[in-house]
Amino acid sequence: MESGLSQAFQEELNCFICMSYLTDPVTISCGHSFCRACLRLSWEDSQLPVQCPMCREPSQQKNFRTNIVLKKLVSIARQASLMKYLSSEEHQCVTHKETKRIFCMETRIYLCQLCSDSHMHRGHRHCPIEAAAEGEMERLLQQMTSLWEKIQEIQENVEAESIFKILFIDYLLMREDMIRMEYRKWRAVLREEEEEHIEHMKIEGIHVLEKFRESEAMMIQKSKQLREMFQELRAMSQEPYVVLLQGLDDIFRRSKSMQLSIPQGLEPELAALPMIGLTERFKSFKARLFFENLFMFLCMKDLFNVLRRASFRPQHQDTPEETCGCYLASWGLQSFISGKYYWELNFKASWDWVAGVCTDSWLKTRNKAVDTKGAFLLFCVKEGNHYSLLTTNPTIRHYIEKPLDRVGVFLDCEAGCLSFLNIAKSSLIYKYPNGTFSHRVWPFFSFGQIIP
């Protein structure tokens, strides 16, 4: 009778998926319970709503809390079978004929009380076997969680990579058009030079796309390895406590070292190719601009952070914001509605900077909302050791080398457009299409400064 009852209990503590004891059990909305790891693997590729593996009832949620009561019951059952195993005559201490109830953390062997007190084990960490088993199980679960997070991180990176690749291809096409238009504007220039420029860029583009493929393949390979490791950990979590207590060291070492280097994806960047005579042509429109005194510009910090999030990868999106500095800004004493003007700015010592023009209304509402409507700006945003260039209206990420210090801005009110130049390289960073704006605009710049 009693064994029939315990048999029935034990069956209830089994997972429908792996058929072993429930490990870190979670109870989903229909009331059925599974191991967390089993559910993770079985729902991995499915979108919400997911289905209960047992009764097929849909669930709107993938993450559940541990069912503590169930977890406790499983651990009682597992401890009981561990005790049953240890108290059998053949597993008793050979010397003292006593049941081994103590675990030595140093030698990872089971001991009876007398052995544990012996000279050989002086200074060792010893604890009751049940407690040791529970502790090891918790370590194993933590390891599985950390591994799973890494698997998710790679998955996000792979998805981001494919989006980045498409954006990069679009950028190449956009840039080709833009460069061609710029060459055509100055008819005196030879057609040959234009073709050479485009050819050079295309070769570089092909090279980058090849790197994208390599990076993607590497991520997929790594993801596969981590998944195999996760399966291995799961299999270990299903082993009886006797096995668990003695077999974890090697598996932990491998799992940890595998998580050390997670491939992070590519930050492609095209070289800033020179266009001969570009800066000289713009310089003929050089205007003497006067700017307001620099002052603290509070909204700039939010704006930079919005663009930082727009340009970097998923796992960077909750990195702490740059807090150790302030943003200074200024705009022209004069606004423009007609004519052509060229001016240069030097951003040598700043980590985040922005240059361009903006409308009256943007300047007026600047502290009320984080908005770029009415601001035609080139942003250089820093994240870790990397810089990204972006322009607003619409937001475009530019996969082009960042200017070292001097940036040229060319405002053409007649055509309603704006160009940005990398002066040192005599290269075009970006030109807004003609007719981008028709209103009065103010020259504007801002930069971040570290407060010492």
For 60, 181, 403, the CA distances from 187, given in Å and listed in that order, are 62, 11, 27
Structure tokens, 180: 């061609």
Residue 405 to residue 281: CA distance in whole angstroms: 20
Nearer to Zn ion, 56 or 368 (CB): 56
8: left (phi over 0), alpha (psi -120 to 50) or beta: alpha
Q: Does 13 bind Zn ion (CB under 5 A)?
A: no
Helix (H) or strand (E) run with residue 377 in it: strand 375-383
Q: Does 91 bind Zn ion (CB under 5 A)?
A: no
Nearer to Zn ion, 241 or 341 (CB): 241
3-state SS assignment for residue 296: strand
Question: What mask of x and - would describe binding to Zn ion in positions 327 to 346, judged by CB under 5 A?
Answer: --------------------
Largest CA distance in the chain: 102
Residue 168 to residue 166: CA distance in whole angstroms: 5
Nearer to Zn ion, 77 or 441 (CB): 77
CB of 112 to Zn ion, least distance (A): 4
Can you tell me which of 14, 41, 42, 54 binds Zn ion, judged by CB under 5 A? 54
Q: Does 38 bind Zn ion (CB under 5 A)?
A: yes
Structure tokens, 178: 């833009």
Q: For 165, how many CA atoms within 13 A lie in the half-sphere containing its CB?
A: 18
Strands (E), 392-440: 396-398, 406-412, 417-422, 427-431
3-state SS assignment for residue 137: helix
Nearer to Zn ion, 35 or 73 (CB): 35
Q: Does 174 bind Zn ion (CB under 5 A)?
A: no
CB of 55 to Zn ion, least distance (A): 3
For residue 394, cis peptide bond before it (omega within 30 degrees of 0): yes
Q: How many residues bind Zn ion (CB under 5 A)?
A: 19
Nearer to Zn ion, 70 or 93 (CB): 93
| Binding segment (CB under 5 A) for Zn ion, from list 12-20, 225-233, 276-284, 295-303 | 12-20
CB of 321 to Zn ion, least distance (A): 41
Nearer to Zn ion, 114 or 450 (CB): 114
Q: Does 127 bind Zn ion (CB under 5 A)?
A: no
Q: Does 381 bind Zn ion (CB under 5 A)?
A: no
Q: Where are the alpha helices (DSSP H) in 24-128?
A: 36-43, 68-87, 113-116
For 120, 168, 172, 173, 445, the CA distances from 209, given in Å and listed in that order, are 63, 9, 11, 14, 34
Can you tell me which of 27, 32, 160, 396 binds Zn ion, judged by CB under 5 A? 32
Dihedral angle sign, alpha carbons of residues 181, 397, 273, 351? positive
CB of 47 to Zn ion, least distance (A): 18
Can you tell me which of 41, 52, 251, 415 binds Zn ion, judged by CB under 5 A? 52
Q: What is the side-by-side strand order in the sheet with 102-104?
A: 109-111, 102-104, 126-128
Can you tell me which of 91, 96, 227, 382 binds Zn ion, judged by CB under 5 A? 96
Give residues 97-126 in contact with Zn ion (rule: CB under 5 A).
Answer: 104, 112, 114-115, 121, 124
Can you tell me which of 70, 83, 86, 93 binds Zn ion, judged by CB under 5 A? 93
Binding positions for Zn ion, rule: CB under 5 A: 15, 17-18, 30, 32, 35, 38, 52, 54-55, 93, 95-96, 104, 112, 114-115, 121, 124
